[in-house]
Amino acid sequence: MSGNYHQERSRLIQQHKEEIKSIEKEIKSKRGVLKEQYQRHLEEAQKRHQEEMKEFETKYGNEEEKVKKGNKPVALSSSSKEAEGCNSGKTVLYEERQWNSLSKSELEIECKLRGLNSKGGKEDLVTRLFIFTADQKSKLSKIPQGEQKGMEVVKSRDKSSGNLESSSIKGFTVVSSTNKFAPPEINYSEAGGTGRRKGRSQNRKIDHRKNVKPGHNSWAAFCARNDIPRKNTGLNIHEDLNSESSDDEKNEEEEQSLKDSHSENDSIESDENELSGSESEDIDEEELARRNKRRAVMVKVLEKMFSSITISEKKNGLKLSEIEGQLTRLNVKNFKPELLGYKSLEEWLSCQSKTVLTYDEHNQLVFPPGHKIPDSKNNKKDDAYYVDSLSEQEEKKNSDDDDFFI
């Protein structure tokens, strides 16, 4: 029976231990109302465990007394020996604590105080203390209440040395093991009711930029301190002048457009000089860059056009009126010579280099690059500055001689 007694008792204590451990784990993770609920569950579980142990002891009878006759608490310090001497013949009760929440060093001290083996791991020490407290409760339940009135309570109040002090409160002796490992008392009211220790916020990093006045480090403040004139000062003063100058520029552009309309009959060279002068004054760099890109694209279009026309068109040339049709055939829509910086289509074609095309200004024909335009005699004779060569004069004489002999 003794073997079954110890097995059943250890199994029951292990169940109680696991249940309390799970509840304590939930208490640590919860807060507020949930934490209070789990604390109530813990108290209820402890009461239930006491009742189960009582039922277990009544079931096995007085076997526990036979087994536990030799177990007597061993005191460590001289003060504890004095407490035992003064309380000889009385039952000594040790304080019950939450063993799972203690460290290994604290558990070793508790085991030594109760005369238990302090060697082994943390789980072994916890199981020994659970078994010891259960035995202690079973002994207390068997003592009649009349005998408990004359007992004394022994509790420790000196936290630095762990000395024991006795007082008669409940009629039995209690040995408390509060020592230097107990947490210090903290006055949380000094921290403003936040639940934190006083002075904890001193370790936080301080942002000194918040103390700087607004606009103190701005560019405007820097210019004002060092008497530096700002870039945009005086804009409101000269608004009227800018508006007047813009009106004058518009009037000048209108007059210039009228002059250009009157000077359309001038030579091409004078027109090019005027265009170059106006472009350098009025056109921005961005617009010039766009114009150059358009010109490069149209050069590629002309190359594609000459590669796609027939052989007869290459020999006879394309008329000036046919160029727009060829461009639309190559999906070039809304083409305007003004976008390229030229006034007319003829001007654009005449300004192209010979590597791109060959343009016959007299007949207004466009040929592929490398085509040679023949010079007609009639064209030369129409020129006022044309002088006949010696070969042509000899041909005239020969023709006159032939007529004479006829």
Residue 379 has, within 13 A of its CA and on its CB side, a CA count of 8
Q: How confident is the model at residue 250 (pLDDT cuts 50, 70, 90)?
A: low
The two tokens of residue 330 are 């190559």
The answer on 177 and 87 residing in a single domain is: yes
The answer to whether residue 249 sits within a structural domain is no
Are residue 118 and residue 164 in the same domain, yes or no?
Answer: yes
In a domain, 400, yes or no: no
The reply to whether 123 and 171 lie within a common domain is yes
> If DSSP codes are grouped into helix, strand and coil, which group holds residue 175?
strand
- Residues 30, 103: one domain? no
Quick: pLDDT tens for 297-333. 888 988 888 888 888 888 888 888 888 888 888 888 8
Lowest mean pLDDT among 75-84, 237-246, 253-262, 368-377: 75-84
Question: Number of folded domains in the chain?
Answer: 3
Answer whether residue 278 shows pLDDT above 50: no
Angle between helices 2-29 and 122-142 (to 10 degrees): 110
In a domain, 238, yes or no: no
Name the average pLDDT for the chain: 68
Give pLDDT, residue 236.
46
Domain boundary among 70, 86, 109: 70
Distance of CA 240 to the CA centre of its chain: 49
Map residue 211 onto helix, strand or coil. Answer: helix
26 and 63 co-located in one domain: yes
pTM for the structure as a whole: 0.27
pLDDT in tens, 116-137: 888 888 888 888 888 888 888 8
Inside any domain, residue 102: yes
Quick one: what percent of the chain has pLDDT higher than 90? 0
Within this chain, do residues 322 and 293 fall inside the same structural domain, yes or no? yes
| pLDDT above 70 coverage of the chain, percent | 52
78 and 57 co-located in one domain: no
- Is residue 245 very low, low, confident or very high in pLDDT (cuts 50, 70, 90)? low
> Is 396 within a domain?
no
Neighbours of 290 (CB within 10 A): 13
The strand pairing partners of 154, in sequence order, are 166
> Does 24 fall in a domain?
yes
pLDDT exceeds cutoff 50 at 10: yes
Q: Which residue has the higher pLDDT, 68 or 356?
A: 356
> Do 120 and 103 have their domain in common?
yes
Q: CB atoms < 10 A from the CB of 349, how many? A: 20
Domain extent, residue 28, equals: 1-70
pLDDT digits (tens, 9 = 90+) for 137-165: 888 777 776 665 555 444 433 343 444 44
